[in-house]
Every structure is written in C-alpha cells, then in structure tokens.
Structure 1
C-alpha cells in the first residue's frame, strides 16, 4: 500500500495515534513478550514483574487500538498480537538504532558488540 502525499490531516492523526499507543515502554515490553505467543494477564504480570492493574491498563489500550486480540478461556483472558505489522515496525526501529550505534562506534574508534 502506498500512502498519499501529502498526507491529509486525518491520516496524520491516525499515524500519530498509533505511534502514541506503542510509544510506551511497558507496551513495548508486552508486545515483545507476546511475540512468543499468546499469554494471560497473570502470565504477563509475572513475567514483566509489575502489577495486574498496570498490565491490564496497557493491554486495554493495545486491544482498543486493534494491535492485540483477546479471548476468554474459563476465568482467564488470553491476549495475542492481532496486527503483526507492529512487530515489523519495532524491527525497523531496532535496525535503525543498531546502524546508529555502529556508526557512532566507528566514529569513536570502538566496536559495538
């Protein structure tokens, strides 16, 4: 898909909203955990070392944005990534950071490991 140029204001706002949703460290940690597959709120709470209330808040934001899907299984709610494009975006950002670090290391005469 090709974006129109110039971007209309509604499109700019939609893009900015998506970046705001994923631009929170805990949400990135949740997405990173869910790359391995679905998880319950309890599993995420334990693995991320934070409160159930905090995890639930961030899961709600990611779900409302359409990035996560959820289903009930007994008394548990299970979350999974429903929009995998967000993982591609994270990989692109990480690749850009890695190139920046490598360039910086070359400038100062070191190496990045």
Structure 2
C-alpha cells in the first residue's frame, strides 16, 4: 500500500532539512555546476558534499552528468527553484512580522 500523500510530503521536506542541501540547491539555481565549484562555494569536505549530493540525487531533485572528467550537477526541474523562492518569501514575511513585534516591544520599554 502506498504511503499517504502527507507522509510523502513529510519525507520530501525531511530530505530538504539540511543546510548544506538547501545551499547546494540555491547554488544550482544559477545553472549546472561542477562539483569543484560547489566545493569552493560551500567550503566543506568533499566527502560531506558527496554525501549530501547523493541524498539529493536519490530524491530525484538533482541530476548528475559528466563533462569530460568533471561531474556537473543541475536541478532536475524548475519546480525546486520555485519552492526555494516561495520559502524565501515566506521567511521574509515572517521575519518582517517579528521585526515589527520587536520594534513594538522595544518602544514599550
């Protein structure tokens, strides 16, 4: 029996729940990127990046290909970039509301 949709969504968001994976997806929004460039931008150990890329690849939201001896990663589709933009908008709104509340609290002192 297939898992209910809400469980599948929860698994999807759990897969996204690592800062390195989110950063990789953000970097890949600019287009296909060689692993060496991802390493330079992230400043993490190659083994750690490899582990995170494997999770993203297994989930199907990134693809990997070779250009000569270079491994290049790309987003599997535009929907992931849309999701990241939506998350940014949501966070911006939440932080703006928190900033307003903080200002009100400071003014009350």
TM-score, length-scaled by structure 1: 0.81
Q: Is residue 2:86 matched to residue 1:96?
A: no
Give the secondary-structure state (helix, strand or coil) at the position aligned to 1:109: helix
Long gaps (5+) in structure 1? 1-7
Higher helix proportion: 2
Cα RMSD for the two superposed structures: 1.7
Return the match for 1:106 from 96, 100, 104.
100
Larger RCO, structures 1/2 (Cα 8 Å, 6+ apart)? 2
> Structure 1: how far apart are the matches of 2:49 and 2:27?
12
TM-score, length-scaled by structure 2: 0.83
Aligned to 2:76: 82
Spell out structure 1 runs of 4+ moving beyond 3 A.
Answer: none
Q: Is residue 2:31 matched to residue 1:37?
A: yes
CA contact (8 A) 2:63 2:74 kept: yes
How many residue pairs align between the two structures?
103
Long gaps (5+) in structure 2? 105-109
